[in-house]
Each structure stands twice: as structure tokens, then as C-alpha cells.
Structure 1
Amino acid sequence: MKKIGFLSFGHWSDHPQSGTRSASDVLHQSIDLAVAAEEIGADGAYFRVHHFAHQLGSPFPLLAAIGARTSRIEIGTGVIDMRYENPMMFAENAAAADLIADGRLELGVSRGSPEQVIDGFSYFGYAAPEGETMADVARRNTEVMLQVIDGAVFAEPNPRPMFPNPHPGPLGIQPQSPGLRDRIWWGAGSNATAQWAAKLGMNLMSSTLKDHESDEPFHVQQRKQIDLFRQAWKDAGWQREPRVSVSRSIFALTTDEDRRYFGVNRDASDQVGFIDSGQAIFGRSYAAEPDVLIAELAQDEAIAAADTLLLTVPNQLGVAYNTHVIESILTEVAPALGWR
């Protein structure tokens, strides 16, 4: 069994052929797609977070709204850029949204992707201390966030508070949501950060790209990253089993509409490029008739190694079409691969 969810980038564009012409369209349709995905048996509704772009940027209102409209599906992010986040406010918002969802949040966090603007985090009030990078800041913010979500108490109580304090000792952030600490994921772009995440007890979220660290195909490099993560987890002595997700663009061509959208000009091979001044490898997309797709996916070592598969969806094509895309994988592909 493999958990299968969707990952939406939340694009909108004021174009006649776009099904999401505004931010309002994206937000409402994201909620509707999560509801529809739950109804057809999908396991997760995940959303990218990008600032200064025509994409979803403020995750917790959306996650809370989905939590209030659904009852079973996991609700997550892939990923929140911790260069932009106050870890205390993050912990408060995350706990509140998780309580609304009755403990179904699965929060992916990371150092973040290349930005729309130069040093966008500086407009949010953040900068790297001398001798550090913003990657260091993101990791430190993450470490603080994990401690606070885990119930750390650190704030000295006011002797004359507006409301009585629950106890005389140091206080922590409220509310607290039990179990949320085990549902934090790190979006790792490299083998080293995957191992770092394991040491801190975070689940692993691996995307459709990673640092190009060998001459092997993307799916092999990603599978080796997963192996390193799991070994580091074991070495750290954690008692629970970690979770691992990978993202893929996968389309089963079952209708003329599918073939028109994805039957030609698809990216059927890995691509190597540069991102944030480093070399990265981008994994291929999959689009084929179900029988061909099943054979191709059976060779993907990283998907086989992961317990969770996130299907990237073309959100601008609307809720009905994206529901069809997800359902086609669930019914036409997943059973033959032993995922269902």
C-alpha cells in the first residue's frame, strides 16, 4: 500500500484559457479539489508555498479551511520556506490549523526554492547574521519551531497577567496539538540535508528535483537519498518509523482531452540545469496509456522506496479535470503496481 495525494502549485493567471483567473479562484478551487480528492479515495491534499508570485503564499488559512470541509484526507504543504517564517507564529498557526483538522496536518518545510524577487525574506524582516547564510537561518528557524511545537516552555510569566497563568513556571506557545511534531517533513534538495532532517526526527519530502550529486538517473539518485535518510534515522535512534514522499508529474492518457494536453511534447527524460548557483537534476514527467505508464513507473526506484506519492496537478485546468487526473492514477495505474 502506498499513500497517494496531490500537490498543487496554486497558480493563477488572468488569461481566457485559465480556470483560475484570480487568487480567489485558486483558494476556493483548492478547497473544492481537496474535498473531491477525499471523495474519490485520495490520501492527501498538499500545496506549494511561494511568495511574491501569482501562487499560493499563505498556507494556514487554506489548510484550516480544508480541515473544516474534510474529515479523512491528509492536508499538507510542500514546502513552506523557513527563511520567511517566525517560528513562534508558525507554531501557533500550525497547531490551530491542526486542531481544526483533528490532527491531519502534514507540514513540509524547507530552505525554500529560488525566489521571485531578490532577497524576498528581507521584506518580511529577516536577514542572515554575519558569517551565516539564509540556509543557516532557515535550518535554525526549523529547529526552534520543532522545539516549540514539541511543547518547550521558555517564556517568563508576568506576575500580574491579564488572565491567570496555568502554572508559575515558564510558559510555551499555545495552543498545542499533540502529535504534530511527528508530522513535520523536511524538503531535502541534497543528500546531506536529508540526513540532517533524519537526525532531527523529521520525515523526508523529496521533490521532482535535487542536487545533481552523481551521474546516475534522477530516480536512482533520489532512491539513494532515501536510503541515506533511513540509515541516518536508524542511527539517530528514533523509535517511530519515518515517512518518505516523492513528487511526480504523472498523467494516464485515457481520454482525448488527456492526449491533447499531455500526449505530445512531454518531458520524458531527466534534465540537468543550474538552480541557486548549483547544478540540479530535474526528474522526468510520465504521460502514457495506462499499460505503458504502469511499465514505466515500475522502473522508478524512488517511487518504489517511498511510502507516499504526491501527484503534481495542473491546477489551472480546473477542479473537474484535476479530479479526473487523480482518479485515473488511483483506478487505472495504482492497483497494477500494488499501491492499492
Structure 2
Amino acid sequence: MIQRLATSREALLLGAIVVLLAVIATRFPAFITPANLANVFNDTSPLILLAIGQMIVILTRCIDLSVAANLALTGMVVSMLNVAVPGIPVPVVLVVAVGLGTLMGMFNGILVWKLDIPPIVVTLGTMTIFRGIIFLISDGKWVNSHEMSAAFKAFPRAEFLGLAMLSWMAIIAVILFYVVMTRTTLGRAIYAAGGNPHAATYTGINVGRTQFWAFTISGAIAGLTGYLWVSRYAVAYVDIAGGFELDVVAACVIGGISIAGGIGSVGGAVLGALFLGVIKNALPVVNISPFWQLAISGGAIIIAVALNAQSNRAKGRIILKSAEHAA
């Protein structure tokens, strides 16, 4: 039990985060104060939310490259809605955001399920479509802080037990989807559909429908994050969260979610997001240019994929050796 825990991807990643924090603390002790760590977690919360949705999609052997564009379109729509109707209650805004994000996720899922189009092609296309729609509905204009109502901007910043609501939304999502992935029929179907689609089909699981629900969940989470993002930063524009899908995929892969499907956990996605969050918050502190962030994310993806491939290869050799001994 202890040996398995020590060699698990989650334990190793947690250890890497602790070591990283310790190294940073040797130069800047204030970085590891509880207040600053709470701020780092809050800054990373949008990435945690999107990484959970992306994890579910990747587990089914798919990928969703439209999550950042979904976030941006939803954020622009709810921002424009708030400008048009300043008194609209926040719960209604949340419903609109989640609903719109869900519809965009369903659109991706239908194209993958019913038309059998490769997920990377579908989501590359819808990523561009969603960004184009933002430009059309906004005419390329920004929605700025002074145009947003106080209540619209206040929700993600409101504090409860010392944490902002944005952080609490991420924590709730982690708990909810941990239960979904480990205790429900849908969670088991997602793992089965990605782990062995042919065997899953023989057991009565509709792989295409399962992928559809994975995209739908990812879209709903992206929609929710869209509102939280624009309300927290108090701005909405066409290129909001541009390139953020790379960070989302990086968080998943670093967290041990296999691109081949069927392997990964909510905990791994969260730790992968936190690893990137610590790096991105630490770079300015240690006087490293923010332009290195993309290079670091890309390098982390390559290293993580290599580690995943090596792990799978090792497991394969063990199986073959066992078969030889049995013969």
C-alpha cells in the first residue's frame, strides 16, 4: 500500500509541487504564506475547472480544443446581457452561462457521435466558430468594468471562510466530479469507453453516447468558467483566454491523464493544474519572463507524455513476461 502510494503519479506530482514551493521559499518566503497560497489557488481555479472537464473528455479517447473559446463566448454573452439588463440576478446569469456552455458542448458531442468526425477536427473547427461568433455579436468591442453591474462583478470575489467564491466553485467541482467518476454508472462508462471501446460495446455501453456526455459536461464547465472569468477580471473581449486550451491539456497530461484514454483521475487533473499554477505565479517572483510560460507548458506536456508512454510500455513488458512464465 505504502509502496503503491509512493510510486503513484498523484503522490509524485504532489511531492514535486512541495519541492517547487520549498525552492521558491528559499528566495521568497512570503510566497508560501497561507494568504498567498490561497491567492495562488484562486488564480488557478479556472484552470482546475477546465482541466476537470477536459479530463473527462480525454478519458473517452477524445480531446476538446474549444474549451477556451467556449469560455470566451459565454463570458461575452453574459457580459452583454448584464449591460443590457443590469438588474439581472446572479443565479440567472449562472444558469445562462452553464446552459450556453452546455449547448456548445452538445454541439461538439453530436458531431463526434453522429457524424463520426475526429474530435480534434471538430473542436478545432468549433473553436474558430465560437471566436467568430464573439466578434459578430460584439462587433469587436470590449465590455469593460464600468459597464458591468456591481453584483455581476462581486460574486467570484465574495469570501466565505477565507476563500473567494471562485475557489469554492473549483472545490465543489472537484468533490462533485470525484463522486461522479468513482461512484456512478456514467463515470464507469467513461473509463470503459476510453479504456477498451470494443469491450465496452459488448457490455452494452454506447461509446458514442458516452463521448457525447463527456463533451456536454466539458461544455457546461467551460460555460460556468466563462462567467467566473469575465466577472473576476471585469472585462470581456474577442481574444479572452486565447491559447488557454494549451494550459488545460497540459494540466491533464501532467496530471497523468492518458491521451490514449481510460487512465486518469480527478485528483491528477487538479494536481496538474496546481503544478502549472504554482509555476505561473512563481515566474514573475523569480524574475523569469512570462513569455517562457508557453515554453514551460509545452515542455511539461512532452515530458509527461514520455513518462506516460514509458509507464505503459513497462506494464506491457510485465504482462508479456507473465504470459511467458505461464506457458
TM-score range, shorter chain: under 0.3
TM-score by length of 1: 0.25
The structure whose residues are more often strand, as a share, is 1
The structure whose residues are more often helix, as a share, is 2
Relative contact order (C-alpha < 8 Å, sep 6+): which is higher? 2
